[in-house]
Structure 1
């Protein structure tokens, strides 16, 4: 099967996915967060009282990657750490109440199944060859997908009121990765 044979998603599905990204941004409070960090947060939400080692095993990530991302999530109030029941050196993690509520909104279109949303995000990660995409870049891509063709200002108007240079960089990344084509000279 080639991509020409694949059924294109309906515009309503693309718009719904944009709303999912918005809820993920709301859950972490930052659109520049990497999609990998969102995956880690979803894994913690799906597995309350999990550990960093367990996250690494489930997501096939190195300990240092998990540790760095969990530290960020903790310092931004997205996750709560508790001393381990059997080993005090290993913290048990769960999402904060605020974060959990926003993740529940993000999960609705996926039947509240964490795995389905995680698989969708992994598909987007696979589109990028040079770096890990941010939620802002994903939102820009989804905006182009929903509109078919979009000017830079159309895309920027659908992003998260970030600095203009950051929004432009998100669009530039999509073009450099070959994910979208620019018709501007």
Structure 2
């Protein structure tokens, strides 16, 4: 076999990083992350959130904003910002995306036409209900879990795809790159590889 046709060596497995618990933020995050036997349920929840938004690249923050809108029908952007402690520009950018992708509806406020009342669309609400089923339809419980996972990342805002990749590792203890990608969503291979690389660069998983 020539050098040009020699198969590439298999990628090393990716395992949960021991350093995950070394920082105070990580210890706090792990406290509310489900045990290994519940990881599969959470992975299914992520699938429903992807169905609700139509895009696995949606950030966990955007998913939290969508859950907050579903939890508080007729809410305004100011209300979202106050409850989630987010800047107006961040809320506005995410609300515009959700509206542009049909995840929410906007109607003029009764008291102030400049303040739109926000609702989850019927289709999105249905999938959010499925996502919330393991949490007794308690929006705060799922929002808190997403917030805890956000706390594991220090360099960028994680996406639903990255969370699903992390859960794939957590379910098995360690997994090959192909195992992880097989648990992700249809998309460019470079996108899936980038999700794995982000987990490694953040120190959340080890490349062993």
TM-score, structure 2 normalization? 0.84
- 1:136 paired residue number: 161
Q: How does 1:79-90 map to 2 (within 5 A)?
A: 79-90=104-115
- 1:30 paired residue number: 55
- 1:173 paired residue number: 198
Q: Displacement of 1:161 after TM fit?
A: 1.2
Say which one has the larger Rg: 2
- 1:118 paired residue number: 143
Tell me if the contact between 2:68 and 2:80 (Cα under 8 Å) persists in the aligned partners: yes
Q: Displacement of 1:11 after TM fit?
A: 3.4
Q: How does 1:83-102 map to 2 (within 5 A)?
A: 83-102=108-127
The alignment partner of 1:154 has SS state of: helix
Q: 2:134 aligns with which of 84, 94, 109?
A: 109
Q: CA-atom RMSD, angstroms?
A: 1.8
Structure 1 residue runs without a partner (length 5+): none
Change (3 A) 1:68 1:157: same
In the alignment, is residue 50 of structure 1 matched against residue 36 of structure 2? no
Q: Displacement of 1:9 after TM fit?
A: 4.3
TM-score, structure 1 normalization? 0.94
Q: Displacement of 1:12 after TM fit?
A: 3.2
Tell me if the contact between 2:162 and 2:196 (Cα under 8 Å) persists in the aligned partners: yes
Q: Displacement of 1:68 after TM fit?
A: 0.3
Structure 2 residue runs without a partner (length 5+): 1-21
Q: Which has the higher contact order (CA 8 A, sep 6+)?
A: 2
Question: Size of the alignment, in residue pairs?
Answer: 182
